[in-house]
Structures are given as structure tokens and as C-alpha cells.
Structure 1
């Protein structure tokens, strides 16, 4: 029996608007990450989630001071 994993879900919230850094204001993915999401491996998608967390942290740091 093979082990079947759950696919990595898209972080898309349906807002889809890129800021001046080419990052979605809602999910924090780049335009290229959004465009390539459907052909990425689960490993690549998890890497994007790590980048999203880094971007969110940087955004919080900018806002706090």
C-alpha cells in the first residue's frame, strides 16, 4: 500500500492584487509564485510558504518600528 499525502493548499484568499514589490497584498506570494503554483511540487510549495512567513514577519517589523 502506498502512502498518499494531502496536497499543499494554495494560500490564495481571492484578493489577487500585487503591490509595488510584485507581492500579493493578501497571500504575500510574488506574481511568479502565483503563476507557477499549479506546476510546483509540494516541496516547492512548502518553500513558498516559508517565504510567505518571512515576508509577513518583515511586514510586521516595518509596521512596528
Structure 2
């Protein structure tokens, strides 16, 4: 999957753990997106999907 598209849904609002309520990425993942390789972007998307399934997983899983 070359040129992985951003998951941004233009609903940027961070929760108490600095996870975006719109796309479920951490603030670090959001700021690093443009510099990340396609493989790292896919890992970011996997972590975001996991956070959506289990919001408690956001604790300690920010990609930092």
C-alpha cells in the first residue's frame, strides 16, 4: 500500500492521554506522520485501530 493516506477526519480534539478523538492517533503519531515511511504509517494505523477497539489500550500505546 504505497502512499498511505492520512486517517485525519478533521475532527482534531485530544483526550486526556493526547489521543485524537477523530482518528485515534497519538499527538506524536500525528506530528510524525509526514516524516514516517509507509511501513511506519501502517503501524500507526494498526495502533489507532486497536485504540478504537479498546480505548483503554491508549494508555501506554502512544507510539512513543
TM-score by length of 2: 0.80
Aligned residue pairs: how many?
55
Q: Which has the higher contact order (CA 8 A, sep 6+)?
A: 2
5+ unaligned residues in a row in structure 1: which ranges?
60-65
Report which of the two structures shows the higher radius of gyration computed on alpha carbons: 1
Please provide the CA RMSD for this pair. Answer: 1.1
Q: Which residue of 2 aligns with 1:48?
A: 44
Q: Distance in 2 between matches of 1:53 and 1:28?
A: 7
- Segments of 5+ residues of structure 2 without an aligned counterpart are 56-64
Q: TM-score, normalised by structure 1?
A: 0.79
**Following superposition, which runs of at least 4 residues in structure 1 exceed 3 angstroms of deviation?**
none
Q: Does 1:21 align with 2:7?
A: no
